[in-house]
Structure 1
Amino acid sequence: MNVTIIGLGLIGGSVARDLRKAHFATHLIGVDASEKHAAEALEINLVDEVLPLQQAVAQADLVVVAIPVDKIRRLLPQILDMIQPGTTVTDLGSTKLRICEAIENHPNRRNYIAAHPMSGTENSGPSAALEGLFEGKITIICDQEKSGPQHLALVEKMFQCMGMNIAYMSSDEQDHSTAYISHLPHVVAYALANAAMAKENRHIIFDLASGGFNSTVRLAKSTPSMWGPIFQDNKQYIVESLDMYIKHLIEFKDSILNNEEKMYELMENATKIREVLNGSNPSLIKNEEKIIKLYTK
């Protein structure tokens, strides 16, 4: 099977590594706007060749789009214009509603599967690609009823061979859910990094920084050119999640100042997240909606 991957950074490159290892792809074709990244991807054997977009799409049985979400919205209709009748197209963007709206009425809409694999690191570029990045993680497939069954089955098979579990929801539900569990943590990391950078004598802070600070602020190393468009695409739900987070910050601040007993209650309640993340309490993780309710209580 010929697989064309558009965008040879962390996500696209990691997909390429897994598809090659699983023998899912017999030939990997790359497309990247950066000549440097394209050359690097060839050098480290992420792909077999790099071609211009139209040639790469024309030769593909499956097209995987792994570029920033604003660029996906602009490029996806063109890709669907170029494909052969049997070609399958999927994207890996972190937001889905506006992308799906951009091709809602396209004549080749059924060739397209909207997907979001929930995995990544703060690093970028072809050299950041990791084999096994997606193993054991969840990918969300959105609005699957709008996709042709043969195209849906191919993309499901791709994610399964990468070791992923699959969840299904509407594109709007996806954006709402990921605002809390993916996008909000990135906003918080950027804000925390800026707060530390704004502190006088900040070199002392960074000299003292260890595991807690480093793990919390790690996401602030993520590329703004990727995350800025995500924040803009999903601003409604991200602002909603931020308002809820700010409410809880204020409540915690007030408890520290005025009510020590309440402070401990808030901390004890927060530790229940361990049960959700470890899967030790099925009643708490029955579905995505209940996880979101933990954040919006």
Structure 2
Amino acid sequence: MKITFIGLGLIGGSLAKDLRKKKFATELVGVENNRKNAKKAVEIGLVDRTETLVKGIEGTDLVIIAIPVDKELEILPEVLDKISANTTVIDMGSTKKVIADKVADHPNRKNFVAAHPMSGTENSGPTAAVDNLFRGKITILCDQEDSGPQHVALAEKMFQTLGMDVAYMSSDEQDHSTAFVSHLPHAAAYALANAVQAKEDRSIIFDLASGGFRSTVRLAKSSHSMWHPIFQQNCKYVVESLDVYIKHLQEFRDSMKDNDFDKLKDLIISANKIRGILDGENPHFVKNEEKFTKLYTK
């Protein structure tokens, strides 16, 4: 199998790394506009070689698009224009509705599988690629009824090879859900980083910064070239998630402002319940074959 990776940063590079290790393909080709990144990707063995877009997707079995979502709006239709009849195209974008709508009427829409692997770090570029980035994580396949069954099957096989669970949602459901669990945390981290940097005595604050602060604000190091278009494409649901978050922040603030420390204690205890949910103690959140589809679809 020949796989062509469009974009060789954290996601594309980590995919290439693990798929090579799993011997999922015999040939790995990269398409990367940044010459420095293209050279580095070959040097460190992420791909066998890099090509132009046209040459890179010629005769390929699988195209993986792992670039910022604004660039994908330009590249995806072009890729679908040029692929052979049997080629599968899978994207990795964090937003889905705008992208799915862009190619809804494309003659080769059936070749496209809209996916979002829920994994990543704040780092970027080929050297950010890491082993086992996706193992034990969830990938969301969107609007699978609009994709050919053979293309969905290949996508499922690839993600399962990476050790991922597979969930199924509509593009709109995906955007709504990830606004809360992915996009909101990034927005909050950016806001927190700006709030601390706005302090006049910030140098002292940073000297005192502990592991807790660093882990909380870590996402603020994420690239603007990736996250600005994500917020732009999913602004409706990100605004909704921010409104909910701000409401709860105000509740915390007001409990202290009003010296209502019993209320503050109740808010903290309520928040502590997230531990049980994340640890799988709540049976309604347990992932298993019987409940998995029900959990992630209407």
Specify the TM-score bucket, using the shorter chain as the normaliser: over 0.9
Does the alignment pair 1:220 with 2:227?
Answer: no
Compute the displacement of 1:65 (Å): 0.1
Structure 1 partner of 2:281: 280
Structure 2 partner of 1:145: 145
Compute the displacement of 1:230 (Å): 0.1
Counterpart-to-counterpart distance in 2, 1:283 and 1:116: 23
Counterpart-to-counterpart distance in 2, 1:136 and 1:283: 19
Could you report, residue by residue, the CA deviation over 1:28-51 in whole angstroms, capped at 9, with x for unpaired residues? 000011000000001000000100
Could you report, residue by residue, the CA deviation over 1:87-122 in whole angstroms, capped at 9, with x for unpaired residues? 000100000000000000000000000000000000
Counterpart-to-counterpart distance in 2, 1:186 and 1:139: 19
**TM-score, normalized by length of structure 2?**
0.95
Amino acid at match of 2:123: N
Amino acid at match of 1:277: L
Structure 2 partner of 1:294: none
Which runs of 5 or more structure 1 residues have no equivalent in the other structure? Answer: 292-297
Structure 2 partner of 1:171: 171
C-alpha change, 1:143 and 1:24, in structure 2 (3 Å) is: same
Does the alignment pair 1:255 with 2:284?
Answer: no
Compute the displacement of 1:289 (Å): 9.8
Contact 2:65 2:92 in 1 (8 A): yes
Compute the displacement of 1:283 (Å): 2.3
Counterpart-to-counterpart distance in 1, 2:128 and 2:114: 24
Amino acid at match of 1:270: A
What is the correspondence of 1:1-297 to structure 2 with a 5 Å cutoff?
Answer: 1-258=1-258, 259-284=260-285
Could you report, residue by residue, the CA deviation over 1:162-186 in whole angstroms, capped at 9, with x for unpaired residues? 1111000000000000000000000
Counterpart-to-counterpart distance in 1, 2:198 and 2:47: 42
SS in 2 for 1:58: coil
C-alpha change, 1:174 and 1:289, in structure 2 (3 Å) is: farther
Counterpart-to-counterpart distance in 2, 1:231 and 1:60: 32
SS in 1 for 2:57: helix
Compute the displacement of 1:282 (Å): 1.2
Could you report, residue by residue, the CA deviation over 1:46-91 in whole angstroms, capped at 9, with x for unpaired residues? 0001000011111310000000001111110110000000000010
Contact 1:11 1:129 in 2 (8 A): yes
Which runs of 5 or more structure 2 residues have no equivalent in the other structure? Answer: none
Compute the displacement of 1:131 (Å): 1.1
Q: Which moved more, 1:248-257 or 1:114-123?
A: 248-257
Counterpart-to-counterpart distance in 2, 1:155 and 1:243: 35
Percent of pairs with identical residues: 62
Contact 2:144 2:168 in 1 (8 A): yes
Amino acid at match of 2:105: N
Q: CA RMSD in A?
A: 1.4
Compute the displacement of 1:266 (Å): 0.6
Amino acid at match of 2:146: K
Could you report, residue by residue, the CA deviation over 1:169-217 in whole angstroms, capped at 9, with x for unpaired residues? 0000000000000000000000000011110111100100011100000
Could you report, residue by residue, the CA deviation over 1:3-23 in whole angstroms, capped at 9, with x for unpaired residues? 000000000000000110010
Amino acid at match of 1:43: E
Compute the displacement of 1:290 (Å): 8.1
SS in 2 for 1:29: strand
Amino acid at match of 1:13: G
Would you say how many aligned residue pairs link Structure 1 and Structure 2? 291
Counterpart-to-counterpart distance in 2, 1:288 and 1:193: 37
SS in 2 for 1:90: strand
